[in-house]
Chain A
Amino acid sequence: MMTFRRKYEERFFRALSFLFTAIIVFVLVQIIWTVVKKGFPSLSWQMITQEPKGGFYFGKDGGILNAIAGSFYLAVCSTILAFVISLPVALFMNIYLIRYQRLLIGIRFFLDVLWGVPSIVYGAFGFTLLMYLGYKNSLGAGIITVAAMITPIMIRAMDEVLKTIPIGLQEASYALGSTKTETAYKVFFREALPGFATAILLAFGRGIGDAASVLFTAGYTDHIPHGFSEPTATLPLAIFFQLSSPIEEVQNRAYAAAVILTVIVLVLSVSARLIKMKK
């Protein structure tokens, strides 16, 4: 039988857990609500189809097409670059290094640390590299920096998918006479494909939403870049720069950018989850 004290304890901690859960949900809803409330009225056809006119900081007309296009170029290219690097690494870890569990633990720890490194550090690293090579702020430099930031995320996400593949499938593949490379790219790759899609979306979401890594490396401009060596605007920096403007129309562009970015990230995480569930 429950004593009075245990009953009281149970109720108290249940109430406490409920309270904190409610606070978290409330804060999240508030953030999204604020962004939508301030940004939604500014969303217009002009906003998403035009570059800013008269300078992004002072000009009252135009939209944020430069930032939308720039962010997509940047995120798509850096995700492709990161994928090309991550795929062989993740497969190597789970096919070739499977006998070296201690080394694997070390590599996973190292990647987790890289995952946790603040993006401004990647930004600083990218900037240093730029200075050293004598390049200027550009789309290309931003792509390399963001790719460096999201590669550890993608490798670890793919690694987690590959870890769940039953050893029986590996045995079956080897028993048919496959080499390790054939097992990796013909069997494991296909088996893990839905999970890889989740990993790619996760990394893409992280890449498109990050401000600090592109702050020093991609620059900012009113125009859509026409090459890797031109600077580019991005949505996070569109928010950062335009929100600090004294002009209301410019501030509204920042809120519109925030809405678009939030929607993109929400859609990405929901679809990542849907793919996972379907699997």
Chain B
Amino acid sequence: MSTQIETLLKSNLTTTVVHNNIPVVEIDKVNVYSKGHHILKNVSTIIPKNKITVLLGPSGCGKTTLLKCLNRLTDLYPDLKVSGSIRIDGDNIFDAHKDITAIRQKMGLLLQRPYPLPMSIYDNIAYGLKLKGIRNKKIISAKVEKHLKEVALWDEVKDRLKTSAQRLSIGQQQRLCLARGLAVEPEIILADEPSSALDPISSRVIEEEFIKLKSGYTIILVTHILRQAKRLADNVIFMYYGEIIESGPAQQVFENPQSEILKEYLRVGH
């Protein structure tokens, strides 16, 4: 334990320890406004390393917005005004001097439905590697195979790596998007209701992947499906109308809810 604290101090990280885990993401007083609406209200929380943290809450409560703040995709939306600070490995991502592409490569992203790049299956995965400056074809091929195997897609596509990724089924596309994200070796996986467009079998595959991946990655999963949250979560952040109502280890949040609104949400099971 003492050596752990020592390394923490050396690496200049904040030494807040939550559930005995090192925080990778520290969100501090984040406010988001859109056209006068207050979408995120003074949100502060910490997301621990190598756990699945589930952002839970009804539709429109700000879960997705919070997720998009983490890799500054909020930059794309002209109406969103973001303030506060988000530290990832101690670096404030809103710092204007930071290289945003490098920050984003620390995070893989899975969206509600898959968006394969308009190129072949192989190139979808090679794309991120080439952005990282990897030119050696052998290394690229090896990584393509490794990550396709990681998401259990290799056997289905190994004979047609050069065909367009857009011809895959939607479940395969979502797994390809996961593999594509993993190929750039992120620390964090951001997933925004990744199984909402998938059939039950494909979504089960994605869920199983998450459980396998959590030893090496920090996973932040947005969902409004209570059962999915219960299956996967180590840590839960429950949001309602732009505020964090409750957060903590999954067991504590699900079995001993404090607020009326969370009790209601758990009762309705929706």
Is A bound to B?
yes
Query: Complex formed: what's the CA distance from A177 to B101 in Å?
Result: 4
B117, A98: Cβ atoms under 8 Å?
Answer: no
A175, B181: Cβ atoms under 8 Å?
Answer: yes
Give the size category of A's interface with B.
20 to 34
The answer to whether A171 has its CB under 8 Å from any CB of chain B is yes
The answer to whether A174 has its CB under 8 Å from any CB of chain B is yes
- Chain B residue nearest to A173 (CB atoms) is B117
The answer to whether A230 has its CB under 8 Å from any CB of chain B is no
**Partner of A175 from B102, B107, B119 at Cβ < 8 Å:** B107
Stretch at the interface among B125-133, B134-142, B248-256: B125-133
The answer to whether B184 has its CB under 8 Å from any CB of chain A is yes
A172, B101: Cβ atoms under 8 Å?
Answer: no
What sequence of 0s and 1s flags, for each residue 188-208 of chain A, a beta carbon within 8 Å of any chain B beta carbon?
Answer: 001101000000000000000
The answer to whether A47 has its CB under 8 Å from any CB of chain B is no
The answer to whether A186 has its CB under 8 Å from any CB of chain B is yes
A-to-B contact residues, CB < 8 Å: 98-101, 166-179, 182, 186-187, 190-191, 193
Given contacts A177-B101, A177-B105, A179-B101, contact A172 B117 (CB under 8 A): yes
- Chain B residue nearest to A168 (CB atoms) is B115
Give the size category of B's interface with A.
20 to 34
B78, A99: Cβ atoms under 8 Å?
Answer: yes
A176, B127: Cβ atoms under 8 Å?
Answer: yes
Task: Tell me the minimal C-beta distance from B174 to chain A in angstroms.
Answer: 11
Q: Which 8 A-B pairs have the closest CB atoms?
A: A175-B109, A177-B105, A190-B118, A191-B118, A176-B128, A99-B78, A172-B115, A168-B115
Query: Complex formed: what's the CA distance from A9 to B154 in Å?
Result: 64
Enumerate chain B residues within 8 angstroms of A173, measured Cβ to Cβ.
Answer: 117
**Partner of B131 from A100, A172, A177 at Cβ < 8 Å:** A177
Known pairs A98-B76, A176-B128, A177-B102; list 17 more (Cβ under 8 Å). Answer: A98-B78, A99-B76, A171-B76, A171-B109, A171-B115, A172-B109, A172-B111, A172-B115, A174-B76, A176-B104, A176-B105, A176-B127, A176-B180, A177-B128, A177-B132, A178-B131, A182-B131
